[in-house]
Amino acid sequence: MQTFKQRLPLFTTIGLISGFILSFGFGLVNYIKLLYYAFEPPSYPIEITYVPLILMFFSLLLGEFSFRFYSRIPALHVKNGKLIILIASHIAVDIQFLWFATAPIHAKVIPYLTDKSKHVNFGEYEAIGHVLTGNFHTLTMIFVFLPTVFMILFTLWYSGHIVRYREEILKWVQKYEYKNHKLQKWFNSQEEQIYPDVEIGPHIEHKEMVRIKGKDRTLNGIIIGPIGSGKTSSLIIPMINQDLHWMVRFINKFETAYKKNDYDTEEVKGTFLNGVTVIEPSNDLCQKVYKLVQAHKIPASSVYYIDPTNPDTKNINILRGPVDKVAEVFAMVIQGLSESNNAFFEQAQRNHLKQHIYLLKLHNPQKDVTFDDLIEMYVRP
């Protein structure tokens, strides 16, 4: 079950969208009221207020952040959701602008024209005056709808430019994801990190840490760079350090997890990193990693540091294990190292080697045979 901290980005985004919808609805209701007053003038004077101007900027900010935050909240994602929010934010700003532009017409322009129409003396041109002022209600409606007509024309012009790049815009909206290195951990807190993800460094543009997903790390990877470019210090050591952190998690949770009936499933055992192997010829990296292991307080019994320069180093007996598996794996390794192009002799050598291993291990099953014993069989048959 998710905690409040994990749900906080979701609640925040819902709050932003709710505030955006409320401001949009409030502006729409007031704008419709102003249009209605063009047909049924109110009995009280309409005052000019800066509320629609404030709400216009407020809606712009709410729409912008709703669009950005929504892109990072998978729980809210629906088909074309980002596109709907983007279009709605533009419409909301237009509505607030229409409210702001129409209110002064009701408050100043129409009362001014009404007053002048009552006091204008056309003299001998009274018939012309009657034509100009006789249908005064239609004239007021024209003035009231001027901002709306202007906005419609502007929208048509603006939409024409959008249609030209429709495919590019739709692709951008579909792939868009808000990036902010200061909020990255906050957004990532939505899901509990159970797989051994590693961060490899900040993105060159938005500075968010680039992560390799734990599930993707089972695939091949390569780090390319010239000598001295910082491959080891900037990438390899930090990645190993994070892996050791995940290994400590495995050690701490192993006793509890192992008692579960579903321990051997992908959902439990598959989420743990149970080992790190470092193979390096110069031993410099191995020494640094060994110090990191000690810093993480990983038990010495779990560490196998094979150092050829140390006569007391731990070693690996490659012939230890079930005889059939040892014979097959060992023969495959030797075959992989062979440069022979003759399939017949290659297969014969493979069978010969496997038979020697079977003989060596089955001759005395209680004995822990080693590679030296196998060499001795070839030297002294």
**CA dihedral of residues 281, 282, 286, 291 (deg, nearest 10):** 170
CA distance 161 to 277: 57
104 vs 138: CA distance, rounded Å? 18
The tens digit of pLDDT for each residue in 43-67 reads 666 777 788 888 889 889 999 999 9
Q: How many CB atoms lie within 10 A of CB 100?
A: 22
Residue 95: is its pLDDT beyond 80? yes
What pLDDT, in 10s, does the model give residues 98-110? 988 888 888 888 7
The per-residue pLDDT for range 183-198, each reduced to its tens digit, is 999 998 888 888 889 9
Confidence (pLDDT) at 236:
93
pLDDT tens track for 123-161: 555 665 565 555 667 777 888 888 999 999 998 998 888
Query: What type of residue is 335?
Result: Q
Tens digit of each residue's pLDDT (9 = 90 or more) over 2-13: 688 888 999 999
- Average pLDDT over the chain reads 85
Strand partners, 346: none
φ/ψ of 293, rounded to 5, equals: -60, -45
Does the pTM surpass 0.85? The reply is: no
pLDDT digits (tens, 9 = 90+) for 232-255: 999 999 999 999 999 999 999 888
Q: Is the dihedral of CA 17, 22, 28, 31 positive or negative?
A: negative
Closest CA to 12 of 62, 87, 77: 62
DSSP conformational letter for 265: S
Q: Quick one: tokens of 225?
A: 């760079």
In whole angstroms, what separates CA 215 from the centre of its chain? 15
Task: Give the span between the Cα atoms of 372 and 242, in whole angstroms.
Answer: 38
How many angstroms separate the CA atoms of 111 and 45, rounded? 9
Nearest Cα residue to 38 out of 109, 118, 140: 140
Nearest to 320 by CA among 279, 287, 368: 368
Alpha-carbon gap, residue 230 to 156, rounded angstroms: 55
Task: Write the burial class of residue 240 (CB in 10 Å: 0-12 exposed, 13-18 middle, 19+ buried).
Answer: buried
The angle at the Cα of 283, spanning 282 to 284, to the nearest 5 degrees, equals 90
Other beta carbons within 10 Å of 31: 23
Classify 183 in phi/psi space as left (phi over 0), alpha (psi -120 to 50) or beta.
Answer: alpha
Residue 338 identity (one-letter amino acid): S
pLDDT for 186: 92
Measured CA to CA, the distance from residue 100 to residue 56 in angstroms comes to 9
State the Cα–Cα distance between residues 379 and 376, nearest whole angstrom. Answer: 5
Dihedrals φ, ψ of 210, to 5°?
A: -85, 125
CA end-to-end distance (rounded Å), the chain = 66
More reliable by pLDDT, 48 or 172: 172
What backbone torsions phi and psi does residue 356 show, to the nearest 5 degrees? -65, -40
- As a residue count, the chain comes to 381
Q: What is the pLDDT, as a whole number, of residue 131?
A: 58
For residue 50, the model assigns a pLDDT of 82
Residues 285-341 pLDDT 10s: 888 999 999 999 999 888 888 876 777 877 778 888 899 998 888 888 777 766 666
Q: Which residues are bridge partners to 202 per DSSP?
A: 209
d(CA 35, CA 41): 10
**pLDDT reading at 117 higher than 70:** no
Whole-number Å distance between alpha carbons of 117 and 111: 10
- Grouping H, G, I as helix, E, B as strand and the rest as coil, residue 212 is strand
Query: Would you state the torsion angle of the CA atoms of residues 55, 21, 80, 179, taken in this order, to the nearest 10 degrees?
Result: 60
